[in-house]
Structure 1
Amino acid sequence: MSDRERDRRIKDLGTLKAIAHPLRMNLYRALTVARTATASQLAEQVDEAVSLVSYHLRKLAEHGLVEEAEPQTTDGRERWWQPASDGVSIRDEDFSDAPEKAAAHTAASRLFFEQRADLYRRFLDERAHWPEVWTKASDSSEWLLKLTPDELTELSRRMYDLVREYEERGRAATAAGDTDNRENVAVHTYGFPFRT
């Protein structure tokens, strides 16, 4: 692993608001998948003007969420960008000490959920066009458990560690040139208490 942060823990309201913008979060997600990209490349993916994408990338950079990357071509006219860390984490405890911070955290969480749900809806709409091997491999599960807060914390940590293991395996294989039958895969988990 390089000197990049594994996960950047967002603790301040300004950074939370910076990433909790719909276009910025889409750009951050696209850049996380691509690992490096130009504003032009990202603009094509999100169907927005290059100037608008450049502006929002600079806003993300102001908060240390993205950074300039080494140029991937000899064309010096384009700036290359990369995520400043391998991911971000946002925890309730960092935003629960003031009503305005809690409200911003809730709004950001709702945005992230809606974008994740949209990604899954798109897969459902396109599922018939994916090869059978991918539709068989995809999963949608729900478990209703009786846990303590400590058990939920442990479950979340273990799931996180397992996903990171597969993330590292995929990155290593891709770096070694093993790209056959590899696709971007989204894994979303939610663990939360509820009452019936």
Structure 2
Amino acid sequence: MRPKREPERITELSRLKAFTNPLRMQLYRLLYAAGTATASQLADQVDQAPSLVSYHLRKLAEHGFVAEATGQSTDGRERWWQVASEEGWGFRDADFADTPEGAAAVGAVTRGILDTRTAQYRAYLDQTAAWGKAWTDAAFSSEWMLDLTPAELAEMSDELESLTRRWRERGKAALAIGDTDDREHVAVHFYGFPFRL
């Protein structure tokens, strides 16, 4: 059995703050999905100048989130980029809650993540008809109201992570053997948080 690979856990405030810029968050997510891309290719997707996109990619590289993709360039004139870790990254609020600056950065990054996820889902909703019946029947959105303890919520989070990791590995294995028929990028978003009436 392969060891479980974990997302990198960010514990340094300066690294977390790299994602307080919404464009950097958007570029990272696009690059993660694409595998590799140039600044020009990403600039087309975000409707920004390639020079601005290149600047933000270099900033992400300074913090270790992206790296140059070797062996991609055919003419050596344009840099290709990739995410530094296919496992991604994460952070815990508690690692930054002891200072106002840390709490503000957590809030900004968390809201940025939510904004990019919401924009991605809105884009899907706007394009639903173009996806066809098989995809629209398979897509889901659900909400559950549960009564849990913090420990139970954490346990459920671990179970959901294991489940989605298994499906991600299944998709990667299929791509590795060339099974690309009817295979698309799929975003799965889960949120679990307490609320009071």
TM-score of the alignment, normalized to the shorter chain, above 0.5: yes
Post-superposition offset of 1:144: 0.5
Asked if structure 1 preserves the Cα contact closer than 8 Å seen for 2:73 and 2:79, the reply is: no
In the alignment, residue 32 of structure 2 is paired with which amino acid?
T
**Which residue number corresponds to residue 80 of structure 1?**
80
Alignment partner of 1:42 is 2:69: no
Q: Corresponding residue for 1:102?
A: 103
Per-residue deviation, 1:73: 4.0
Q: Is the 8 A contact 1:40 1:50 kept in 2?
A: yes
- Rounded Cα–Cα distance in structure 1 between residues aligned with 2:45 and 2:177: 26
Q: Which residue of 1 aligns with 2:91?
A: 90
Q: Helix, strand or coil: the match of 1:82? A: strand
For 1:40 and 1:121, the matched residues in 2 are separated by: 25
Note the residue ranges of structure 1 that are not aligned, 5 or more in a row.
Answer: none
Q: TM-score when scaled to structure 2?
A: 0.93
Structure 1 residue identity aligned to 2:163? L
SS at match of 1:190: coil
Amino acid paired to 2:39? A
1:85 deviates by 1.1
Question: Displacement of 1:6 after TM fit?
Answer: 4.3
Deviation at 1:60, TM superposition (A): 0.1
Amino acid at match of 2:16: L
- Secondary structure of the 2:81 match is strand
1:190 aligns with 2:177: no
Identify unmatched segments of 5+ residues in structure 2.
none
1:10 aligns with 2:17: no
CA contact (8 A) 1:67 1:82 kept: yes
- Compute the RMSD of aligned alpha carbons: 1.2
Q: Which residue of structure 2 aligns with residue 181 of structure 1?
A: 182
CA–CA separation in structure 1 for the residues paired with 2:174 and 2:42: 24
Aligned length: 192
TM normalised by structure 1 equals 0.94
Partner SS for 2:127: helix
Superposed displacement of residue 20, structure 1: 2.4
- Counterpart CA distance in 2 for 1:20 and 1:85 is 20
- Shift >3 Å, 4+ stretches: none
Contact 1:68 1:79 in 2 (8 A): yes
CA distance in 2, matches of 1:159, 1:19: 25
* Percentage of matched positions with identical amino acids: 60
CA distance in 2, matches of 1:148, 1:6: 25
Please report how far the alpha carbon of residue 55 of structure 1 lies from its aligned counterpart in structure 2 after TM superposition: 0.4
Deviation digits for residues 8-67 of structure 1, max 9, x if unmatched?
A: 211121111112211111110011001111112111221211111110000000000001
Secondary structure at 2:183's aligned position in 1? coil
